[in-house]
């Protein structure tokens, strides 16, 4: 299946988010390095204990349980090193700092682990819902429908996504085997909605319309009708989210009817030769009026 069209700014925005996330992960270790610089210079008169105590808490926000433990270990190592360098062992301030660092580290680790578990549970639930939605929207294609052997594979363009703006289905009808392959211009939930509308109209029309063009017209009418009832700006929404579609009918005879509404031409494989089935009369995508 074709990947949905992406905005040029999408990958760039994702890269910025990744850079900011990496910088946030470096903050606890940068603080530990700052403390070392202060303690090994004439600035060691400054009180740096609270800075080290804060490092596990900061790590818990962005780094998870393992990162929190790593930040806590670095903070303890810096505390031991600076206390030994300054000859501060035996003072109440050193032991107070260690106690505070221990308590904050334990609390940060428990909080981080709880947040990680909660996030994983939420992601698993979303994954189950997405899988159920995919099974309803994109039903498994039967291996055989009458004289036709069929197979399908779908990979969503969005990382971790189960469904997107692509659509397909194969149905056995009294007129023969009818199939559709399409792609919504756009992404996200609006694209999924448009795909569901087209598929719903197709699955209904294929059993009642003897003319394949009427099936395609029913799919487009459903798309336009949904835009009309969506309120102000509905027509514009259709223009921004048109659907390319390829509808085919395989009757009992030797001929195959194909209607292409702006979709990439299909490939015909016969006797080891691949041929591009270019439409004789190009038609616009569904909803592009």
CB atoms within 10 A of CB 70: 17
Q: Count H helices, E strands: the chain? A: 7, 8
* Predicted pLDDT at 3: 34
Residue 149: how many CA atoms within 13 Å on its side-chain side?
Answer: 0
SS3 174: coil
pLDDT of 238 reads 42
Tokens 């996330």, residue located:
21
Listed by start position, the domains of the chain span: 9-134, 140-276
- Report DSSP state, residue 63: S
pLDDT on residue 239: 45
Do 235 and 223 form a contact (C-beta atoms < 8 A)?
no
Q: Smallest Cα–Cα separation from 170: which of 213, 199, 210?
A: 199
Task: Give me the phi and psi of 288, to 5 degrees please.
Answer: -90, 90
List of the chain residues with pLDDT < 70:
1-24, 43-49, 86-90, 130, 133-135, 156-164, 230-241, 289
Q: State the pLDDT at residue 209.
A: 93
d(CA 200, CA 48): 65
Q: Which helix (H) or strand (E) holds 199?
A: helix 189-205
Q: What is the DSSP code string of 94-123?
A: HHHHHHHHHHHHHHHHHHHHHHHHHHHHHH
User: Domain 140-276, what architecture?
Assistant: 4-Layer Sandwich (3.60)
Angle at 107 between CA 101 and CA 112, to 5 degrees: 120
Residue 63: which of 23, 102, 14 has the closest Cα? 23
């Amino acid at each position: 299946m074709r990947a949905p069209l992406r905005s040029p700014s999408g990958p760039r925005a994702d890269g910025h988010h990744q850079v900011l996330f990496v910088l946030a992960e470096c903050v606890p270790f940068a603080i530990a390095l700052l403390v070392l610089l202060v303690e090994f210079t004439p600035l060691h008169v400054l009180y740096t204990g609270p800075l080290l105590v804060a490092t596990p808490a900061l790590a818990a926000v962005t780094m998870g349980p393992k990162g929190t433990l790593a930040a806590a270990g670095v903070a303890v190592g810096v505390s031991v090193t600076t206390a030994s360098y300054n000859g501060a062992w035996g003072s109440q301030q050193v032991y107070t700092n260690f106690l505070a660092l221990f308590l904050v580290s334990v609390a940060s680790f428990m909080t981080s682990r709880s947040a990680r578990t909660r996030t994983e549970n939420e992601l698993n639930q979303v994954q189950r819902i997405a899988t159920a939605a995919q099974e309803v929207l994109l039903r498994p294609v039967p291996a055989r429908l009458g004289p036709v052997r069929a197979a399908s594979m779908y990979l969503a363009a969005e990382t971790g996504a189960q469904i997107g703006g692509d659509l397909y289905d194969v149905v056995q009808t009294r007129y023969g085997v009818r199939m559709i392959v399409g792609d919504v211009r756009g992404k996200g939930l609006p694209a999924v909605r448009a795909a569901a509308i087209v598929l719903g109209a197709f699955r209904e029309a294929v059993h009642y319309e003897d003319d394949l063009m009427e099936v395609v017209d029913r799919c487009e009418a459903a798309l336009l009708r949904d835009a009309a009832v969506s309120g102000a700006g509905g027509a514009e929404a259709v223009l921004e989210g048109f659907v390319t579609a390829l509808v085919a009918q395989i009757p009992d005879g030797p001929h195959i009817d194909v209607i292409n509404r702006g979709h990439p031409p299909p490939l015909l494989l016969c006797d080891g030769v691949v041929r591009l089935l270019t439409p004789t009369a190009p038609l616009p995508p569904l909803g592009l009026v």
